[in-house]
Amino acid sequence: MNRLNSAYGQLATTFAHLGHLGAAESTLFWDGRTKMPPGGSASRGKVMAALTSVIAEKMADPSLADLLDRAETEEAQQLNEWEAANLREMRRRWRHETAIPPPLAAELAERVALSQKAWERARRDSDFAAFAEPLGAVLSLQLEAARIKGDALGMAPYDAMMDAHEPGLTTEFVDQLFGDLAQFLPELLERIMARQAAETAPLPLPGPFPEAAQFALSEKLAAMIGYDFEHGRIDLTAHPFASGAPGDVRITTRFYDDDPVAGVMATMHETGHAMYELGLPGEWAFQPAGYARGMGLHESQSLLTEMQAGRNAAFLPVLARLLRETFGGEGEAWSDDNIRRLYRRVQPSHIRVDADEVTYPLHVILRYRIERALTDGSLEVAGIPSAWNELSRELLGIVPPNDALGCLQDIHWAMGAFGYFPSYTYGAVAAAQLFAAATRQDPEILSALGRGEFAPLLAWTRKHVHTRASLPPTSDAILRAATGASLSADAFKAHLTARYLDE
Amino acid sequence: MNRLNSAYGQLATTFAHLGHLGAAESTLFWDGRTKMPPGGSASRGKVMAALTSVIAEKMADPSLADLLDRAETEEAQQLNEWEAANLREMRRRWRHETAIPPPLAAELAERVALSQKAWERARRDSDFAAFAEPLGAVLSLQLEAARIKGDALGMAPYDAMMDAHEPGLTTEFVDQLFGDLAQFLPELLERIMARQAAETAPLPLPGPFPEAAQFALSEKLAAMIGYDFEHGRIDLTAHPFASGAPGDVRITTRFYDDDPVAGVMATMHETGHAMYELGLPGEWAFQPAGYARGMGLHESQSLLTEMQAGRNAAFLPVLARLLRETFGGEGEAWSDDNIRRLYRRVQPSHIRVDADEVTYPLHVILRYRIERALTDGSLEVAGIPSAWNELSRELLGIVPPNDALGCLQDIHWAMGAFGYFPSYTYGAVAAAQLFAAATRQDPEILSALGRGEFAPLLAWTRKHVHTRASLPPTSDAILRAATGASLSADAFKAHLTARYLDE
C-alpha cells in the first residue's frame, strides 16, 4: 500500500517524521554522555525536553487518531504483511504514548528530575531516608500512570509497565520464569562455589594495560564481530551503552587500569546491541515496524555476543591470544587456561552491573519481587531497605553492608523505570535459547568462533532476529520461529550447568 | 512583561521552544562534521530536514501571526527595552522565515542538494559547464525568493538576501564601502609587494609539528583568550567553524603538518567567534533578542581576535615564545622578528580562505560584483568564469589557471547562499574600527596583550558587543555606540597602512 493519500500512507509519513525526531534525541543523548562539555547540561535539558514535547504533541494530534481508525477499518485488507505489522505498531506506540494525560506526564517528568538528584545525593551518602519521599512521589505517579495505561491496553498495571519495554511480557510469564530460576540458581551457585573453592584461584593478569592498547583491542574485537566503522564508532563512558540512528549506531565502552577483561566484555556486549540495530531492515528504517522488537530481545543480542559466544570454550583461546598480543603477555597468567578461568569466575557480590552470569539473574529477581510488592501495595517505600537486604540474603546469600551497595545502587527507580529489570534476565535466558538453537542448526557457528569468525553466527541472528525487526508482534513469536519453542529457562539452565560444572 | 497569558509571554514561550530546536540542529551540525561515521549521512539528512520542517511549521502557525499582531498593537507600551527588542526580533525572524511559500522553499532545498553534489564533482574536475545548469536553477529560485522576501520586507531583492545574514545591510552601503576599498587596496598591495620584494623573505619554520603539540598549543591559546572548556571543546575538521548552544559553544580547527601558523590562526579565529556566543546574555538565551546581531559583526569578533589582536606587534612576541616552547624551536627561523614577518606575509593568491588580510577583501569584492550582476540580470550564469577571471586580474592582478582555483572554489553559491560574502569584509572592517576604539578607550588593552593577557580586550568586547546581543536593531547601531561612528573603511585602511608600511 503506497498511495500517499491513503490513511496508511499519511501515517507512514508522520511516523517517519517522528522517527527522525527520535533519532535526533538519540544522537543528542549520545553526545550528552560522550562529548558535551559539562556546562552544556542546562541547555541540553531544555533541548531534550523540546524534542520530547514536539513528539508528544504530534502523537496527540487528533488527526493522527482519525488516520489510525481509518487505516484499521478501511484499509486493513489492502495492507501486506509488513504494512499490517507497521500499522499494528503505530497503534501500539500511539496507545502507550497518548495514554497518560499530559498534566500527569508533566508532573511525572518534574518529579523524576527531582528524584534523580535526590538519588545521586542519597547514594553518595548511603542515606535511603533522604530518597524515600521523592521516590514515593515518583512511584505513586507512575502507578497512577500504569493503571491508566493498563486500562487503555487491557492489562494489569505492572504488565503495562513491562509492555513498554518488552511488548507482551506478562507478570504470569515472568513469575513462572523467575520462580524456576529462583529455585535452580541458588543450588547451582552453591555447587559452583564449592567446586571453585577446591581449585586454585586464577592468577590476575599483570599490567600495565594502557588505554590506547585496550582501545585498539576493543576496535579489533568489534570488527571481528562484524561491526562496521563506516556506520559506527567507539567512545568511552562510565556506563557503556549503544545508541544511534539507522546507519549510525555508536557504542561506548569503559576500561579499567588494572583489568583488561572488563573492557573487552563491555565492548563485546555493546557491539552485540549495535549489531541488532545495524541489522534491522533498511527499507523499514524510521517506521514503527522497523525498530528492534523489545529491550529483552535486545539484551539477548548483547548477551549472545558477550556471554554465549564471547566466553564460549571455542572462542576464549582466540580472546586469550588477542590479549597476549595486545599486552605482550607471557607466562602462566596469560595461558589459555588461566584466562578462561578468569572469564568464568563466579562470585556473589553486591553490585548488579558487576555480577557474573550465574548470580546476575538473582539480582534481577530481587528487584522484580520488590517492584511487584510495591505495585500490589504489600510493600511501602520505607520498607525497601529491609526487604532488599532480606531478599539478598535469601537469593545471593549476602547482605549489603549499606544501602549504597544495596537498594540505592541502581538509577532505574529514581528515573521512574519500573518494569524494566526483567528485560535483563529475559535477555540472558533468550540468549541461551537462541545460541543453543543456532549452534544446533548450524554446527559451523562454533568451529568458526574457534577461528575468531563471527560471520556464521551473525548470519543466523541476522536472519532469525535482526531482519525481523518488529514484524512479529512479540519477542516470543521471534523466539518460537527461530528456536521452535517459547522462551523457557531450560537452555539457560543447561548452559550454566555445562559451562560451570562441565556436565 | 512577564505574565504568561499575555501575547508577548506566549510568544516568548514559543520562541524559546524554537530556540531549543535550533540548538538541536546546531549540535547535530557539529556532530555531522566532527563525530558522525560517514555511513550516517543519509539518516542525518532526514533528521535535519525533520527539525527544519518542525521549526518552519511552528513559525507558519497562524496563531503565531495573531500573537505578534496582538503584542505589537496592544502590549507594546508595557514592554521594557529588552522585551521590545525581543518582539521586534520575533517579527523580523517571522518575516524572513515565513516570506517564502513552502512549495518554493521545498523546491529550493531540493535544487540546493543537487547543486551541491554537482558542485563537488565540477570542482574536482574543474568543469564549470557541469555546474552551470544546477547553479542556474538554484539562482533563479533564490532570486524569486529574494523578490518575494524583498516585497515583504520592503527591500530590493539583493538587500533582502543580505538582510538575512546581516540585518540592515544595504547595497547602497556596501557599494560605497567596497568602492572605497577597491580603490585603496590595489595600490596599497602594490606598495606592500614592492617593500616585501626589497627585503629578504622570512624563513619557513622547520618542522616537525606533531598534531598533539599543535593541539596543546591551540588549547593554550584558546584558554589565554578566555575560552572556558567547561562550556566548550576543540576538535579537528577540514573547514574550521564555531557552533553550539547557550553554554555549549564548540570550535573546530585544522592543522598542517608543515606549518603551525595556519592552525594557530584558525584556532584564534574560531575562538573569537566562540567568545561572542559565550558572552551573550544568559538571561536572554534562546530568545530572539539574545542571539548575535549579525554574521558580519560575528566575523568582526573572530578577526578582532585573529587579525587585530593575534597579529598585533604587542602580541606576536608572546606567540613566538609559545611556538618556540611548543616545538622546541631554536635559531633564526624561530626569532620574534622572523615569526612576525611570517605572520604578516602578503601575497595575492587564488584561494579566498587562504588569503592574507590585505587581499582578502578583494576576493570578497570580486564575488559581490558577480552576485550583483547576476541579481540585476547583467550577467548570465554561463558568463561567470570569464567575469571571474577578468575581475581577478583587475583586483588581484592574477588570473586563476582553472575554474577549480577560480569560480568553483567556494560552496556558497551551490548552497544558494547569495548575499553572504559581504559579511566577511564587513567583519574585517568592523574589527579594525572596534579595535582602534577599544585601544583608544583603554590603553591597558595593548600592554596586556604584550603579556599574553586578553582580559582587558575581552572586557571591552563583552561590554560593547557581546552582552548587547540583538538589543540594538543593527550591527551599525552597536558600532556607533561602541566607537562613536558608523562603519567606515577609515580604521581598516589606517590599520593596514600602519601594519604593512609602518606608516
pLDDT tens per residue across span A340-378: 999 999 999 999 999 999 999 999 999 999 999 999 999
What's the confidence (pLDDT) of residue B329?
Answer: 87
What's the confidence (pLDDT) of residue A244?
Answer: 85
pLDDT tens digits along B212-263: 999 999 999 999 999 999 999 999 998 999 998 999 999 999 999 998 988 9
- How does DSSP classify residue A72? I
Kind plus residue range of the DSSP H or E element containing B363: helix B360-376
Interface test with A, best of B14, B17, B20, B63 (most A CBs within 10 A): B20
Q: Does the pLDDT of residue B63 top 80, yes or no?
A: yes
Which ipTM score applies to this complex?
Answer: 0.94
Are B35 and A37 within 8 A, CB to CB? no
The B residues from 276 to 335 touching A (CB cutoff 8 Å) are 285-286
- The mean per-residue pLDDT over the stretch B401-406 comes to 97
- The mean per-residue pLDDT over the stretch A451-478 comes to 98
Q: Which fold has domain B211-349+431-501?
A: Neurolysin; domain 3 (1.10.1370)
**Range of weakest confidence among A110-114, A406-410, B65-69, B172-176:** A110-114
Classify B426 as helix, strand or coil: helix
Of the partner residues A24, A44, A244, the one whose CB lies closest to the CB of residue B28: A24
Q: Which amino acid appears at position A363 of this protein?
A: H
What's the confidence (pLDDT) of residue B102?
Answer: 87
Q: Confidence class of residue B368 from pLDDT cuts 50, 70 and 90?
A: very high
Indicate the pairing of strand A242-245 with strand B248-253.
unpaired
Contact A286, A241 (CB under 8 A): no
Q: Confidence class of residue B502 from pLDDT cuts 50, 70 and 90?
A: confident
Are A20 and B247 within 8 A, CB to CB? no
Residue A56 near chain B (CB below 8 Å):
no
Are B39 and A228 within 8 A, CB to CB? yes
- The mean per-residue pLDDT over the stretch A133-159 comes to 95
User: Mean pLDDT score of chain B, rounded to an integer?
Assistant: 96
Q: Confidence class of residue A329 from pLDDT cuts 50, 70 and 90?
A: confident
Residue B37 near chain A (CB below 8 Å):
yes
Using only C-alpha atoms, chain A has a radius of gyration, in whole angstroms, of 23
pLDDT tens digits along B131-185: 999 999 999 999 999 999 999 999 999 999 999 999 999 999 999 999 999 999 9
Instruction: Count A/B contacts: CB-CB distance under 8 Å.
Output: 112
CA-to-CA distance for A329 and A208, rounded, in angstroms?
10
Are A245 and B43 within 8 A, CB to CB? yes
Contact A271, A305 (CB under 8 A): yes
Chain A residues closer than 8 Å to B17 by CB: 50, 53
What's the confidence (pLDDT) of residue A395?
Answer: 96
Q: Does the pLDDT of residue B53 top 70, yes or no?
A: yes
Question: CA-nearest residue of chain B to A34?
Answer: B35
Q: Residue A493 half-sphere exposure, CB side, CA atoms within 13 Å?
A: 16
Q: Does the pLDDT of residue A2 top 90, yes or no?
A: no
Residue B114 near chain A (CB below 8 Å):
no
The A residues from 465 to 494 touching B (CB cutoff 8 Å) are none
Active site residues of A: 270
Domain coordinates in residue numbering, chain B: 1-99, 211-349+431-501
CA dihedral angle for residue B273, residue B278, residue B281, residue B284, rounded to 10 degrees:
90
Contact B381, B132 (CB under 8 A): yes
Chain A residues closer than 8 Å to B35 by CB: 31, 35, 233
CA-to-CA distance for B230 and A36, rounded, in angstroms?
9
Contact A436, A495 (CB under 8 A): yes
Higher pLDDT, A1 or A309: A309
- The mean per-residue pLDDT over the stretch A78-105 comes to 95
Residue B406, C-alpha cell as written in the block: 577560480
A347 forms bridges with which residues in the sheet? none
What's the confidence (pLDDT) of residue A325?
Answer: 96
Q: Confidence class of residue B83 from pLDDT cuts 50, 70 and 90?
A: very high
- The mean per-residue pLDDT over the stretch A258-279 comes to 95
- The mean per-residue pLDDT over the stretch A67-82 comes to 97
What's the confidence (pLDDT) of residue A53?
Answer: 93
For chain B, give the number of residues. Answer: 503
Chain A residues closer than 8 Å to B250 by CB: 37
Q: Does the pLDDT of residue A3 top 90, yes or no?
A: no
- How does DSSP classify residue A291? S
Q: Does the pLDDT of residue B1 top 70, yes or no?
A: no
